[in-house]
Amino acid sequence: MSNSKLVQYPDGYLDRTPIFQFILLSILFPLWGAAASLNDILITQFKSVFALSDFATALVQSAFYGGYFIVAIPASLVIKNATYKVAIITGLLFYIIGCGLFFPASKMATYTMFLGAIFAIAIGLSFLETAANTYSSMIGPKKYATLRLNISQTFLPFGSLIGIFLGKYLVFQKGESLHSQIAQMSGEQLRLFKLQNLQHTLEPYMYIIMVLVIVAIIFLFTKYPKCKVEKVLHDKHELHPGTAETLRYLSTNKRFCRGIVAQFLYVGMQVAVWSFTIRLALNIDKTINEREATNYMLYSFVAFFVGKFIANFLMTKHKPVKVLFYYSLVGSLLVLYVMFVPNISAVYAAILLSVLFGPCWPTIYAENLAVIDNKYTEIGGAVIVMSIVGGAVIPAVQGFISDAFHSMQHAFVVPLFCFLFIGYHFYREMKQSKVQGDN
């Protein structure tokens, strides 16, 4: 289907979805899924190599999601003044640069340099997510915006699984756990062993760079519709609302603000659960090593993938806000199980949480976009992406609580609080939807 045959409506949506462009756009989603899941590997690797606390290891996620927060508004301005495609290509270039920085980081062998490389990757991913999430929701009829974004997000777990496989077989090695091996070494032997393990972190990023280059070239030569709101207003001030005006408008929209808090807590909760699943398994079962414990993350991402299909089906039968409300209730019960059951079944309960994570991000994102005026879409989408900074904050809080109480399980009280607020948010949205329906 050629773009010239597409009809774009004044609100930026299309009369139908260009299939090839939509599939190519959806392929971006697993690219940041792989980077995010590799962080879960790095957290476990760095804890032993650099002798870090749980709080310090969570700084990997702080660097990663802090980059999202800082760059989301600049990315939105690129979209506003150029196109979604330009923002996507910019994101791919920064992603490639960030992966390349792992090579000098492994030579310098400092935790700070690795955090810098992760931050650079996050800059690229912020451009990609700011553009791709909004673009996916808009590249077709408006009534299917939420479903379309959920379909694109269904590709994300493939990247997460690939990232975990790369980490399991390229970063983690066979034998005893890193902690056990390091405890038996000292002096020059220990230094060389740590350097060798840092070299293993390079290998996944070599493969990622090759894929990114290919995707960037394909995007460069593929034509895309603009999907921008048509300039039909006569008042120039209304036509081009500035960033400050847009932020004032968004700050007065209570539903949007509550949705931002829900997205902040959801992202933080998901990142925290995934960051500490391997550590939870190692704490409960002392007989396994890092490579074996990584299997639990593989199960988590399979559950995440399955959860997206289940949610997509449920959302064809029920309103998305209703599905997310009941998901939050079930999630709260599962987190309580993780907190208080002192055996390996607690890890499986943490895995089941991933089934519930599937529809959260795209549903909150699309529902939040729907409650703001179209002329604020670009920056509104960026503000939602900025809420990803929850991934920088919530894991650090959970790591701090784990260190303070010497219990990784009890630290899961943080995801419990997050689920409860998300449930509250969607309960309010259910009520709002019912009032609008009655009217």
Q: How many CB atoms lie within 10 A of CB 192?
A: 11
Quick check: is 62 in a domain?
yes
Total structural domains within the chain: 1
**pLDDT at site 246:** 83
Q: Which residues, other chains included, contact 6 with Cβ-Cβ below 8 Å and sequence gap of 6+?
A: 14, 15, 16, 18, 225
Using an 8 Å Cβ cutoff, are 3 and 126 in contact?
A: no
Q: How many residues does the chain have?
A: 439
Quick check: is 92 in a domain?
yes
- Low-confidence residues in the chain, pLDDT < 50: 1-3, 233-237
pTM to 2 decimal places: 0.75
Q: Which residues, other chains included, contact 415 with Cβ-Cβ below 8 Å and sequence gap of 6+?
A: 269, 272, 273, 335, 353, 394, 398
**pLDDT at site 3:** 47
Task: Give the CA distances from residue 196 to residues 57, 168, 188, 216, 372, in Å, rounded to whole numbers and listed in that order.
Answer: 19, 16, 12, 32, 51
Question: Would you put residue 176 in left (φ > 0), alpha (ψ -120 to 50) or beta?
Answer: beta
Q: Which domain holds residue 378?
A: 7-226+241-438
Quick check: is 28 in a domain?
yes
**pLDDT at site 4:** 54
pLDDT tens per residue, range 141-200 = 888 887 888 888 888 888 988 998 898 888 877 777 677 778 777 778 888 887 888 888
Quick check: is 235 in a domain?
no
| Alpha-carbon span 134 to 137, nearest angstrom | 5
Quick check: is 130 in a domain?
yes
- Extract the tokens encoding 162: 């690939």
**Which residue matches tokens 């699984």?**
161
**pLDDT at site 433:** 73
- Strands (E) in 128-226, as ranges, are none
Quick check: is 231 in a domain?
no
Which residue type does 209 have?
Answer: I
Beta bridge partners of 8: 14
**pLDDT at site 233:** 45
Residue 179: exposure state from Cβ atoms within 10 A (0-12, 13-18, ≥19): middle
Quick check: is 400 in a domain?
yes
pLDDT tens per residue, range 224-278 = 888 877 655 444 445 567 778 888 888 889 999 999 999 999 999 998 999 899 8
**pLDDT at site 79:** 82
Which residue type does 429 have?
Answer: E
Q: Report the CATH number that the domain containing residue 366 is assigned in CATH.
A: 1.20.1250.20
**pLDDT at site 398:** 93
Quick check: is 2 in a domain?
no
Using an 8 Å Cβ cutoff, are 252 and 373 in contact?
A: no
